[in-house]
Amino acid sequence: MLSYKSVHLDSTASPAHAVLLLHAFPLSSEMWASQLSMLEEKEIPAIAPDVFGVEGSEPRETWVFRDYVEEISSLLSLLRIKSVTVVGLSMGGYQAFEFWRIFPEKVSSLVLCDTRAEQDNEEALAGRRDFIAAVRADGPEEAAARMLPNVFAPKTYSSKAEIIESFRQIVTRQSGQTIAAAMQAIASRIDSVESLSGITCPVTFISGVEDKLTPPSLAESMHQQVPGSTLHLIPEAGHLSNMEQPDLFNAVLLEHLQKIDLPR
pLDDT 10s digits, 198-222: 999 999 999 999 999 999 999 999 9
Is there a domain that residue 131 lies in? Answer: no
Strand, helix or coil at 153? coil
The CATH number that applies at residue 107 is 3.40.50.1820
- Residue 263 pLDDT exceeds 70: no
Nearest CA among 30, 38, 97, 41 for reference residue 69: 97
Mean pLDDT, to the nearest integer, of 221-225?
98
What digits encode the pLDDT tens for the residues 19-46?
999 999 999 999 999 999 999 999 999 9
Residue 18, domain extent: 4-117+191-259
> Does the pTM exceed 0.85?
yes
Task: Give the Å distances, CA to CA, from 43 to 6, 8, 83.
Answer: 12, 7, 17
pLDDT at 262: 67
Does any domain span residue 176?
A: no
* Whole-angstrom distance, CA of residue 257 vs CA of residue 19: 9
How many structural domains compose the chain?
1
| Within-domain flag for 132 | no
pLDDT at 15: 84
pLDDT given for residue 80 in this prediction: 94
The answer to whether position 73 is within a domain reads yes
Alpha carbon distance 249, 209 (integer Å): 12
Distance between terminal CA atoms of the chain? Answer: 27
Report the helix count and the strand count for the chain, using DSSP H and E: 12, 7
How far apart are alpha carbons 190 and 210 in whole angstroms? 26
In the chain, beta strands by DSSP E? 4-7, 17-22, 46-49, 83-89, 107-113, 203-208, 230-234
In a domain, 43, yes or no: yes
Residue 97 inside a domain? The answer is: yes
Output the average pLDDT for the chain: 96
Domain contains 35: yes
18 in any annotated domain: yes
- Mean pLDDT across the stretch 226-254? 98
* Structure confidence at residue 10 (pLDDT): 72
Task: Please give the C-alpha separations between residue 262 and each of 194, 202, 222, in angstroms, as whole numbers.
Answer: 27, 11, 24
